[in-house]
Amino acid sequence: MSPLGFALWLVLQLYFYLMFARLIVDIVTFNNARLRAKPVVSWIIKITWGATEPLLKTMRKIIPNIQFGAVGIDLSWAVLMLLVSIASSAVRQL
Protein backbone atom coordinates (compact mmCIF):
# COMPACT_ATOMS: atom_id res chain seq x y z
CA MET A 1 0.00 0.00 0.00
CA SER A 2 1.33 3.42 -0.91
CA PRO A 3 1.83 6.07 1.79
CA LEU A 4 -1.07 8.08 0.39
CA GLY A 5 -3.30 4.99 0.38
CA PHE A 6 -2.31 4.21 3.94
CA ALA A 7 -3.06 7.79 5.03
CA LEU A 8 -6.50 7.67 3.38
CA TRP A 9 -7.21 4.28 4.94
CA LEU A 10 -6.18 5.63 8.34
CA VAL A 11 -8.47 8.66 7.99
CA LEU A 12 -11.38 6.41 7.02
CA GLN A 13 -10.70 4.12 9.98
CA LEU A 14 -10.56 7.07 12.39
CA TYR A 15 -13.84 8.39 11.00
CA PHE A 16 -15.41 4.93 11.40
CA TYR A 17 -14.38 4.87 15.05
CA LEU A 18 -15.65 8.43 15.57
CA MET A 19 -19.02 7.37 14.14
CA PHE A 20 -19.08 4.39 16.49
CA ALA A 21 -18.14 6.65 19.42
CA ARG A 22 -21.00 8.96 18.48
CA LEU A 23 -23.41 6.03 18.61
CA ILE A 24 -22.20 5.05 22.08
CA VAL A 25 -22.32 8.65 23.36
CA ASP A 26 -25.83 9.13 21.95
CA ILE A 27 -27.08 5.94 23.58
CA VAL A 28 -25.48 6.66 26.97
CA THR A 29 -26.53 10.32 27.16
CA PHE A 30 -29.98 10.03 25.54
CA ASN A 31 -32.04 10.68 28.68
CA ASN A 32 -29.33 11.83 31.07
CA ALA A 33 -28.98 15.62 31.08
CA ARG A 34 -26.74 15.55 34.18
CA LEU A 35 -24.26 13.29 32.41
CA ARG A 36 -24.27 15.52 29.31
CA ALA A 37 -23.44 18.51 31.54
CA LYS A 38 -20.20 16.97 32.84
CA PRO A 39 -17.15 18.64 31.25
CA VAL A 40 -15.49 15.47 29.94
CA VAL A 41 -18.70 14.10 28.45
CA SER A 42 -19.53 17.49 26.97
CA TRP A 43 -16.07 17.59 25.37
CA ILE A 44 -16.55 14.08 23.89
CA ILE A 45 -19.97 15.07 22.54
CA LYS A 46 -18.54 18.20 20.90
CA ILE A 47 -15.74 16.23 19.23
CA THR A 48 -17.91 13.38 17.96
CA TRP A 49 -20.73 15.65 16.80
CA GLY A 50 -18.40 18.20 15.25
CA ALA A 51 -16.61 15.53 13.24
CA THR A 52 -19.61 13.48 12.16
CA GLU A 53 -22.54 15.88 11.83
CA PRO A 54 -21.54 17.55 8.52
CA LEU A 55 -21.59 14.26 6.58
CA LEU A 56 -24.65 13.01 8.46
CA LYS A 57 -26.47 16.23 7.64
CA THR A 58 -25.69 15.70 3.96
CA MET A 59 -26.84 12.08 4.16
CA ARG A 60 -30.11 13.16 5.78
CA LYS A 61 -30.81 15.40 2.80
CA ILE A 62 -30.31 12.47 0.43
CA ILE A 63 -31.97 9.69 2.47
CA PRO A 64 -35.39 10.56 3.91
CA ASN A 65 -36.60 9.16 7.22
CA ILE A 66 -38.66 5.99 7.05
CA GLN A 67 -42.04 6.66 8.68
CA PHE A 68 -43.88 4.08 10.77
CA GLY A 69 -46.96 6.00 11.82
CA ALA A 70 -45.75 8.81 14.10
CA VAL A 71 -42.24 7.35 14.42
CA GLY A 72 -39.48 8.23 11.96
CA ILE A 73 -36.34 6.14 11.57
CA ASP A 74 -33.15 7.90 10.48
CA LEU A 75 -31.00 5.53 8.40
CA SER A 76 -28.32 8.10 7.56
CA TRP A 77 -25.95 6.86 10.28
CA ALA A 78 -26.15 3.23 9.14
CA VAL A 79 -25.72 4.12 5.47
CA LEU A 80 -22.74 6.38 6.22
CA MET A 81 -21.10 3.66 8.32
CA LEU A 82 -21.59 1.21 5.45
CA LEU A 83 -20.13 3.65 2.92
CA VAL A 84 -17.10 4.39 5.11
CA SER A 85 -16.54 0.69 5.63
CA ILE A 86 -16.75 -0.05 1.90
CA ALA A 87 -14.44 2.87 1.07
CA SER A 88 -11.95 1.72 3.68
CA SER A 89 -11.94 -1.82 2.26
CA ALA A 90 -11.54 -0.49 -1.28
CA VAL A 91 -8.60 1.72 -0.30
CA ARG A 92 -6.97 -1.16 1.54
CA GLN A 93 -7.10 -3.28 -1.63
CA LEU A 94 -5.15 -0.67 -3.61
Mean predicted confidence (pLDDT) in 33-61: 89
The predicted-structure confidence for 63-91, as pLDDT tens digits, reads as follows 988 888 888 888 999 999 999 999 999 99
d(CA 53, CA 70): 24
- pLDDT at residue 7 in the model: 93
Mean residue pLDDT across the chain: 90
- pLDDT at residue 57 in the model: 93
Contact between residue 16 and residue 85 where contact means Cβ atoms under 8 Å apart: yes
- pLDDT at residue 20 in the model: 93
- The number of distinct structural domains making up the chain is 1
Q: Which of 57, 51, 65 is nearest to 16 (CA)?
A: 51
- pLDDT at residue 3 in the model: 87
The domain containing residue 59 runs over which residues?
Answer: 3-93
pTM of the model: 0.84
